[in-house]
Structure 1
Amino acid sequence: MRSLSGRLARTSLDLDSDPEATTELVELERVPSRALLILYRLLLTGTTMLDALTTRTRGRQPKDKVFVKLLFSAGLSPNTDRLTQEVTRALCIPDCDTSRGLKKCHESFETIRATLDKVFAQTQEEPAPGPLVACDHLAGAILLIYARMAQDNILCRRLVFDTPFLDKVVALLSSPVVRQGMVMILSKLCHQRDSEVLRAVARFTSTLLDYAEPHMARLPFVERTVCVLSHATTSIYREPVPDPEVIAALPRAIQFMLSVVRLPGSTSLSFDHLIMFCHETAPRCPAPLLANPDCLDLLVACARCPDICTRICSERALIGAFIAPHLDKQRQIEPTREETRTLLQDYYRENEPFVLKLLDGEAKLSALAKEYKANPDCSHSGLGQELASLVLHHEETIRIWIGCRVEGAEDVREMLRGCEKAVRIAADETNGLDVTSDILRISLLASEGDRYEASHYALEALKRHPSVPFFYFILASCGCGIGDDVVTRVLYAEKGLQCDDGMTEYLQLALLYIHLYYAHLLVSQMADGFPADFRLKEVNVLMETASANAHTWSRIAPVDHFQRPLLTTVGILIDLLRDGHTWTDEIFQASRLRFCSPWRKLMNFQETRTFYTQVCDTARCTRTGFNPMEHTFALDKILDRMSIAWDTWGSTVSCQPPKPYTTAAESDHSEVDIVAWFEKLNTGTCFSRMFELQGIDPGVKRFGDANLHTCSYCNNGNAALKKCAGCQQTRYCNNVCQKNHWRSHREACKASRIDKEDQKTEGGVEGQGDSGR
């Protein structure tokens, strides 16, 4: 240390004219001796740092003065970011914020890693007498340099899986001076959206709680910890076998997050992450939520939150938590048993008089089947017309009859085939386009469970008969034929309701029912990371359309309609999502009476309620593909617990700042334009992933380098990616991925090239935007 003292003495003579440097030297006596020793050793033995200091001064600033500033930052400055910048410059670490610097980091990763590990190792040696604050600052600075490199997907995976980077970060959480910086590093890693990295962070859930729970007074630290826990723990459900240690820590994590949200001065950061955690966790692991009454009360109280996205997430969390225990039972039900038909008929005959109209269709269907079987050689075009009329009024009867394989189902199937053929031949002889044959053919395909073929045939039939609501009903109930896209179902249901050619009471009620259910589901999906401008402009229009359809259905449907309980439930949920923040206690009481009226005979008796759940589970398999009971339990909890929940959490929920959104009156779209709006969104990709596949991650956009993104088709982040030349938005590993993705990307790519008509699109991945054609 004698040479060090002489070096500092000579520096003081050179810097007497600099007041700032003089102050630094006066304060230098407070620098711990261990930090001086570490940095001085680096100067003497680390030629890279010494050369860097000499090079960067360029003769205008003595290198000893730079060293003094570096020591001052290490020993005195509480700002670790300042020290990080000094060490980065001193060690010649490339600037990761530029494409050129990032490329150097990739090429020299092992060299950079060895240099940084050497500095970090010296900070972890046996301490000399004196405080250790400076050493913790220096260790934290090294890890922050690593964290900046980890913003690149490839370097992030190398750091997490090939080095003990996470172990070092978690170990430094014990240091009070860099604790906040370390949890910020974990937060940045979680926002990389790499599922494997998230699961690696989730392994430290218990350790994070051990460090965070004793420091509840440090609000920024615990709020950022909530952010890490929210992102990391929800990733474990994507594993085939979730980590049992993380599952065991979930109740403790939920309680910790609730405690942070209750803290005075707690911001929307922790509140929003807690709600999103419940929203992601509830469908997959509902037990911790159901076992925590405070958490359930918070979700119930969020139905009156000023922010619509919070209302959506909390409602979805409650629905997922209450319906998840019934899913295993539902999968065990065999919908092809003959007892299914008997179960439905017996229950409906005793409890739902309106269903007798549907059951009357069975007698007519049986009579037509006997007539067809008695005269197999006759022309059955007239019988086909009568059968088509029966389909428009009792399609449900035919679907259950054939789908459940009851006695006589084969005769009905043969009758549909024969009548469809006879009607088609008669139409060909008159050179006409008879809609009857299309109705019979599609009804047969839908009844046999071939919903994709039925949807495809319905699309072809719409080209010939664009105003027949039955075809829209098939598309809305069976899907679009290439997937279960929610927006497509809502689109076709809305279009079908605007048609009058052959509209029957059965079709109108069914289309309203499907539109309301899937519109509610679509609004719920808007909480899954959609761009704010889309959600804020359109969500109110969609909810007002669904609410209007719910009231229309309630007005025209018979009082004893068997779907009235479910439609009442979904209608109230839609109204809650739209206007829950304005509801008073009186409105909640009136809604509870409205909700309980159709459900009273079921909700008062647990035995009847269980039986009806089984009936609805069976109907899910044979009819529409969704369980009519899945919303009931959640709404029952909201209306029953709202008074208590609001007393407990009202002050916390009501103070959350609402995100600005456009009302229906201010929106660019009206109810008349809702179909055109859906068509504009229906670009050929799955709606729930449309923005995810075509968007750009804002966290890495600033780096401006293609290899920072994952492949738009296979999500591979370990290869050099090339942009689609057509739209400059999607990126691919190779031609194979681009060709596989082209089917869903074609429409979006062509739309983005409207303003680039003069651009040639020939060549490979980089020269051809549509090479997958």
Structure 2
Amino acid sequence: MPPKHTKQRRSTNTQYKIPATFAHDIENAEGWNAIVEFLCDFFDLPDLTTRSGLKKAHARFNEISKKLDAAYTKGNDNEKIMGGIVGIWAKMSADALLRDKLFKAGLVSKMMPLLDIPSTRHIGLQALSTVTHHGGVAARQEIAKQTPVLLRLMEEFPDDDKIAELAIVVMCHAIGAVVDISDEVPDPKLLETLDMRTVLKMTIDNFRKPNASAFLMSHGLGLLTGSTLHCYKECKALPPVSSFLVACMRSEEITTRCNVLAGILRLNLAESEPDMRYYDPRLLMEAVQRRFPQELVDVMVEYGFERCDTTLTLRSSNEFQKAMQACLHDKDLYKLGKKTAELIVRTEFAIVNGMYQAVNERTGQLEVVDVGLPFKMWADSLSHCARAVRAKGDKSDLDDADVLEIKWYIIKQRIPDAIKVANKALERNPQLAYAYYAIGLGSDSENGLRAVKKGLKAKQITPFVRNYMLWRAVEHAGNLGVSRLQEATAGDRDYNEGMAFLMSSCEDAKRFIAEAPPDTRNMSAILNWYVICSIATRGPELSPDLRELNDAFKKIALADKMQTFIGLPPKNTQIRLTRELIVKQWPMAVKSWGEVIARVDKMDLTSESAHRLPTPAKAEDDLATWLENMNVEDAPEEGGHRAHPKIMPTAVELYRCSYCGNPSAILKKCGGCGKMRYCDSGCQKLHWSDHKRTCKGSD
């Protein structure tokens, strides 16, 4: 039982001197909980497991910091003092603003010595784990610089499961702040310091250990999938990494399958090609003149040769050229516009971007000539025709004018402008399917999916527009499904929506494959999505040779032959490369990692227990329990407002900054409404443009 200290001994003084008997007194404390209690009592610290206690720590930060620093310095040869104080600092780091102050004061440099002391090694790793759970980007990146130390410990103590577990947890959170970013490229010097190839190898090697815990597996998987975007070269240099990710696609847990699917998609992004191909009508004409191979002819005839894209494109292109020649003579932009609008909704490549030309008698070369029309390039006629058609003002004229203007923006690759016109058109006529299709071309998957789903029910729709909206529906729903299910929990909203999106993608893909022309340029893309969504939704049901998808594989080969023959060979898109990698590695991955995946499936990687700090094996490691404990029953502040979610299941329920999301116990309330909370005036100012619309104080 630690000796009691009088108020006089605990009272503060300006020098914060540590009594000579301090080290002797702490030796009487048995176990880390007792050590922490002794230190907290000795320094008269507030209860750091509650929001109110953390608020007091803010108010007394300078005093507390000087006391702990003094004790740490004096006790740098006493393992109990060092371990206990580092544990207190780790606990304080649950508050974002306290954490930032501690990091500026050199917290990491004070924690690292514990890793080389046998009795405090686990505690040091435990403290790092706690800090990285709560740490912001800057704090995690600072800890990421210590990765070589963590790798060294794993190499020196290969049989210590606790070291491997905690080191991988720390690396998952710390390295994730460096490599798991999409909007910027990581610092190459920092990446070199991290030695990602060794990090990935040691992580994947630990997966095979029979004692690998759910905590290690869940964080190790997160480390792998989070590294695939910016460390794709290192990932591909280690075949077991991609093999393990593919094997996880056969997991019983769909959130695991979607998590690794997202990782594989990112793995292929850097080396993928955009699915944008220049259409050359001459190549199509040459293909027709060469005559299609009999295998392709049979498929096209069975579908209906007149309904195939090749036939519709050639016929429509010919009609467009005739219309342009007629306009050369009659200068009637209204008539040209009406005909062009009809062709636009018939097929994708009806508009030939030609020009009026004549032979220069002096040079003998063809040159673009001014024929008295307000355009030179034929594609530019669309905007002028739209104005001419709109001037008539009839309902059908207004629809055609919108179609012309939307198509002109699409040709110019100005999709946001096309969407603006489409939204305005739908206000006037909610049945204009082509407008929904244009919105579906946008990058916002939620708006795009919502639009094409409505558009598929529109009355004014052609087979071409219907099939292309199905194409967009498949891609948008597939992306949303994978995104939603990565971090979802069975039964919650994201889980239910994610499942609905994936099933919708599969169903629309089936419909497209059954209804669209076999020579449509999107057939390969849809088949790729169909295979991937099928594996994501049916993974554990599928056989090691994927025989259930043989029909889809045959159709992919046929679609590729079709597009290659007509001069538009399929691109190595992100979705194609992902499908190829999964299918190619599936048989060996299932065989190689089958036992590991079966073991993982018996673990609950998504439960609260999987996210808790691991229970230490030794009694003296019970500091982990204290580090983990947060009193979420702490009474809320006035008004009881708790609009912001917890940081994690085991964290104290702190408020988050309404602008940047930082958690803290001392956020300042908005003076107008009293609901929004901010780190400082800077965050409040940056959020004001959004908040002023709902802030009562702005009335």
Same fold (TM over 0.5): yes
Partner of 1:515: 473
The partner residue of 1:309 within 238, 241, 255 is 255
The partner residue of 1:492 within 451, 472, 495 is 451
Matched residue SS, 1:398: coil
**Aligned CA distance change for structure 1 residues 48 and 138 (closer, same or farther; 3 Å):** farther
Instruction: Please report how far the alpha carbon of residue 596 of structure 1 lies from its aligned counterpart in structure 2 after TM superposition.
Output: 5.0
**Aligned CA distance change for structure 1 residues 177 and 346 (closer, same or farther; 3 Å):** farther
Instruction: Please report how far the alpha carbon of residue 120 of structure 1 lies from its aligned counterpart in structure 2 after TM superposition.
Output: 1.4
Matched, 1:109 2:75: no
Amino acid at match of 1:737: L
Q: Whole-Å Cα distance in 1 between the matches of residues 591 and 396 of structure 2?
A: 68
Matched, 1:585 2:544: yes
Partner of 1:88: 40
Work out the percentage of aligned pairs sharing the same amino acid.
17
The partner residue of 1:571 within 525, 530, 542 is 530
The partner residue of 1:504 within 441, 462, 474 is 462
**Aligned CA distance change for structure 1 residues 704 and 589 (closer, same or farther; 3 Å):** closer
Partner of 1:691: none
Instruction: Please report how far the alpha carbon of residue 555 of structure 1 lies from its aligned counterpart in structure 2 after TM superposition.
Output: 0.8
Partner of 1:415: 381
Matched residue SS, 2:645: coil
Question: What CA deviation, in whole Å up to 9, does each residue of 1:521-556 have, x standing for no partner?
Answer: 111212554576122222222222211111111111
Partner of 1:60: none
Matched residue SS, 1:393: coil
Partner of 1:739: 688
Amino acid at match of 1:572: V
Amino acid at match of 2:338: Q
Q: Whole-Å Cα distance in 2 between the matches of residues 81 and 398 of structure 1?
A: 76
Matched, 1:469 2:442: no
Matched, 1:394 2:347: yes
Question: What CA deviation, in whole Å up to 9, does each residue of 1:561-587 have, x standing for no partner?
Answer: 33222211110111111111222236x
Question: What CA deviation, in whole Å up to 9, does each residue of 1:104-149 have, x standing for no partner?
Answer: 3223323222211221122224xxxxxxxxx212211011111111
Amino acid at match of 1:423: V
Matched, 1:424 2:390: yes
* 1:100-179 correspondence to structure 2 within 5 Å: 100-125=52-77, 135-160=78-103, 162-179=104-121
Partner of 2:130: 188
* 1:288-687 correspondence to structure 2 within 5 Å: 288-326=234-272, 341=280, 345=284, 354-356=308-310, 357-376=312-331, 378=332, 380-398=333-351, 410-427=376-393, 434-477=398-441, 479=442, 484-501=443-460, 503-527=461-485, 529=487, 533-585=492-544, 588-592=546-550, 594-599=552-557, 629-655=573-599, 656-657=601-602
Q: Which structure exhibits the higher relative contact order, with contacts defined as CA atoms closer than 8 Å and separated by 6 or more residues?
A: 2
Structure 1 length-normalised TM: 0.71
Matched, 1:276 2:234: no
Instruction: Please report how far the alpha carbon of residue 459 of structure 1 lies from its aligned counterpart in structure 2 after TM superposition.
Output: 0.7
Q: Whole-Å Cα distance in 1 between the matches of residues 395 and 282 of structure 2?
A: 46
Question: What CA deviation, in whole Å up to 9, does each residue of 1:580-630 have, x standing for no partner?
Answer: 1222236x1342563255337969xxxx89x99x9656xxxxxxxxxx721
Instruction: Please report how far the alpha carbon of residue 489 of structure 1 lies from its aligned counterpart in structure 2 after TM superposition.
Output: 1.1
Matched residue SS, 2:495: helix
Q: Whole-Å Cα distance in 1 between the matches of residues 70 and 281 of structure 2?
A: 76
Instruction: Please report how far the alpha carbon of residue 653 of structure 1 lies from its aligned counterpart in structure 2 after TM superposition.
Output: 0.8
**Aligned CA distance change for structure 1 residues 111 and 347 (closer, same or farther; 3 Å):** farther
Instruction: Please report how far the alpha carbon of residue 710 of structure 1 lies from its aligned counterpart in structure 2 after TM superposition.
Output: 3.6
Matched, 1:267 2:233: no
Q: Whole-Å Cα distance in 1 between the matches of residues 169 and 27 of structure 2?
A: 29
Amino acid at match of 2:247: A
**Aligned CA distance change for structure 1 residues 400 and 509 (closer, same or farther; 3 Å):** farther
Instruction: Please report how far the alpha carbon of residue 325 of structure 1 lies from its aligned counterpart in structure 2 after TM superposition.
Output: 2.3
Matched residue SS, 2:207: helix
Instruction: Please report how far the alpha carbon of residue 520 of structure 1 lies from its aligned counterpart in structure 2 after TM superposition.
Output: 1.1
Matched residue SS, 1:265: coil
Matched, 1:250 2:196: yes
Partner of 1:6: none
Matched residue SS, 1:124: coil
Instruction: Please report how far the alpha carbon of residue 253 of structure 1 lies from its aligned counterpart in structure 2 after TM superposition.
Output: 0.9
Q: Whole-Å Cα distance in 1 between the matches of residues 186 and 279 of structure 2?
A: 34
Select between 183-192 and 643-652 the one with higher mean Cα deviation. 183-192
Task: Tell me if the contact between 2:134 and 2:647 (Cα under 8 Å) persists in the aligned partners.
Answer: no
Partner of 2:364: none
Partner of 1:226: 168
Task: Tell me if the contact between 1:272 and 1:310 (Cα under 8 Å) persists in the aligned partners.
Answer: no
Task: Tell me if the contact between 1:198 and 1:231 (Cα under 8 Å) persists in the aligned partners.
Answer: yes
**Aligned CA distance change for structure 1 residues 545 and 601 (closer, same or farther; 3 Å):** closer
Amino acid at match of 2:339: E
Partner of 2:627: none
Task: Tell me if the contact between 1:99 and 1:705 (Cα under 8 Å) persists in the aligned partners.
Answer: yes
Question: What CA deviation, in whole Å up to 9, does each residue of 1:347-394 have, x standing for no partner?
Answer: 976788855232443222222222223222x4x434432221111113
Task: Tell me if the contact between 1:724 and 1:730 (Cα under 8 Å) persists in the aligned partners.
Answer: no
Amino acid at match of 1:712: Y
Matched residue SS, 1:585: coil
Task: Tell me if the contact between 2:524 and 2:559 (Cα under 8 Å) persists in the aligned partners.
Answer: no
Partner of 2:638: none
Q: Whole-Å Cα distance in 2 between the matches of residues 432 and 360 of structure 1?
A: 24
**Aligned CA distance change for structure 1 residues 433 and 366 (closer, same or farther; 3 Å):** closer
Partner of 1:198: 140
Instruction: Please report how far the alpha carbon of residue 216 of structure 1 lies from its aligned counterpart in structure 2 after TM superposition.
Output: 3.3
Instruction: Please report how far the alpha carbon of residue 424 of structure 1 lies from its aligned counterpart in structure 2 after TM superposition.
Output: 1.9
Q: Whole-Å Cα distance in 1 between the matches of residues 582 and 142 of structure 2?
A: 36
Partner of 1:27: none
**Aligned CA distance change for structure 1 residues 225 and 197 (closer, same or farther; 3 Å):** same
Partner of 1:722: 669
- Taking only aligned residues, the RMSD between alpha carbons, in angstroms, comes to 3.9
- Which one has the bigger helix percentage? 1
**Aligned CA distance change for structure 1 residues 411 and 648 (closer, same or farther; 3 Å):** closer
Q: Whole-Å Cα distance in 2 between the matches of residues 401 and 111 of structure 1?
A: 78
Matched residue SS, 1:191: helix
**Aligned CA distance change for structure 1 residues 193 and 529 (closer, same or farther; 3 Å):** farther
**Aligned CA distance change for structure 1 residues 312 and 440 (closer, same or farther; 3 Å):** same
Q: Whole-Å Cα distance in 2 between the matches of residues 343 and 718 of structure 1?
A: 68
Partner of 1:686: none
Amino acid at match of 1:115: K
Select between 647-656 and 234-243 the one with higher mean Cα deviation. 234-243
Instruction: Please report how far the alpha carbon of residue 302 of structure 1 lies from its aligned counterpart in structure 2 after TM superposition.
Output: 0.7
Task: Tell me if the contact between 1:268 and 1:657 (Cα under 8 Å) persists in the aligned partners.
Answer: no
Partner of 2:659: 712
Partner of 2:305: none
Matched residue SS, 2:270: helix
Instruction: Please report how far the alpha carbon of residue 513 of structure 1 lies from its aligned counterpart in structure 2 after TM superposition.
Output: 0.8
**Aligned CA distance change for structure 1 residues 593 and 417 (closer, same or farther; 3 Å):** closer
Question: What CA deviation, in whole Å up to 9, does each residue of 1:20-72 have, x standing for no partner?
Answer: x7xx9xxxxxxxxxxxxxx99xx8xx9864559xxxxxxxxxxxxxx99x968
Select between 316-325 and 710-719 the one with higher mean Cα deviation. 710-719
**Aligned CA distance change for structure 1 residues 310 and 699 (closer, same or farther; 3 Å):** closer
Amino acid at match of 1:565: S
**Aligned CA distance change for structure 1 residues 540 and 659 (closer, same or farther; 3 Å):** farther
Q: Which runs of 5+ in 1 are unaligned?
A: 1-20, 25-38, 53-66, 126-134, 618-627, 662-693, 750-760
Structure 2 length-normalised TM: 0.78
Matched residue SS, 1:449: coil
Q: Whole-Å Cα distance in 2 between the matches of residues 401 and 596 of structure 1?
A: 37
